[in-house]
Amino acid sequence: MPSTFRHAALVGKYQASGMRHLLEDIAHFLVRQGLEVTLDEDTALNTGITGFASLPAHRLGSECDLAVAVGGDGTMLGLARTLARANIPLIGINQGRLGFITDITLHEHEAALAPMLRGDYEEERRTMLEGGVWRDGAPIFEAFALNDVVVSRGASASMVELKVDIGGQFVSNIRADGLIVASPTGSTAYSLSAGGPILHPAVASWVMVPIAPHDLSNRPIVLPDSGEIRVEIVSGREVSASFDMHSLASLLKADTVVVRRAPYQARFLHPRGWSYFATLRRKLHWNAGGAPAPGP
């Protein structure tokens, strides 16, 4: 049966040991399935792979109709930020440690990919965040995130004070080490370690989580993702904003970090039978020590 897709982008965590051999195996497998393969330019240069075409990451969306990420969740996050605007579906092969969103294991990748390339898969869409930093009434920094936006103090600085407005309404001034605004995808990342709840990806919401707040009554809060969140720096030194722990902006007093829902979503493809709850069971070790939970 012919492939549903015609041209796959292949991106790898090129710093990982043995990545060249693995990527070449996957690329040849995709070719045998009838797909043209183009590597991300950085992946090709850093692995020394020369047997396939390569393009800068920002051009992959205009040439390919599928993207395969090989690495950890960080690799998948970067690819999602790059390709979401092009509406390209993503498949993740886990070569990292955790793998919440790279859910195909290395040892089963050919068996999992073959039916998916023929159209037998489950698709889900994940909400993304967009925003930036405003200073003196003008934007000075813009970025996108799939996981979270974090405003935090420097390593050697004391806590920060942040003024939070949601949907044009004042919420509170928070004194803490920082503040996380996370999507459902990001609710199992930094937000979870800071005490935030897990949000199901189908729920149209954000979670806002203070990091080590001065007032213990400042608790995580789940918010609809339809409103704009504005975080103004009231006081603090060495304050920064990061988008998926990747894009960083240094902040001054009165700077405002703006976060809202992006106008596009990340598309993830999973093997048939994939379950979000099975992923949570495996990755968070639920039922550890007890009887195996039913389901895939």
Among candidate residues 40, 42, 73, 136, the one labeled active-site is: 73
CB burial of 259-281 (b: ≥16 within 10 Å; e: otherwise) equals: bbbbebbbbbbbbeebebebbeb
Token pair for 182 = 């996370």
What is the distance between the alpha carbons of residues 54 and 100, in angstroms, rounded to a whole number? Answer: 28
Structural contact between residues 109 and 26, judged by C-beta atoms closer than 8 angstroms: yes
What is the distance between the alpha carbons of residues 132 and 150, in angstroms, rounded to a whole number? Answer: 11
Q: Which residues contact 253 (CB under 8 A, 6 or more apart)?
A: 233, 234, 235, 236
Is residue 225 flagged as an active site residue? Answer: no
Token pair for 155 = 């390593």
Beta pairing class for 205-211 and 221-224: antiparallel
Catalytically active residues, by annotation = 73
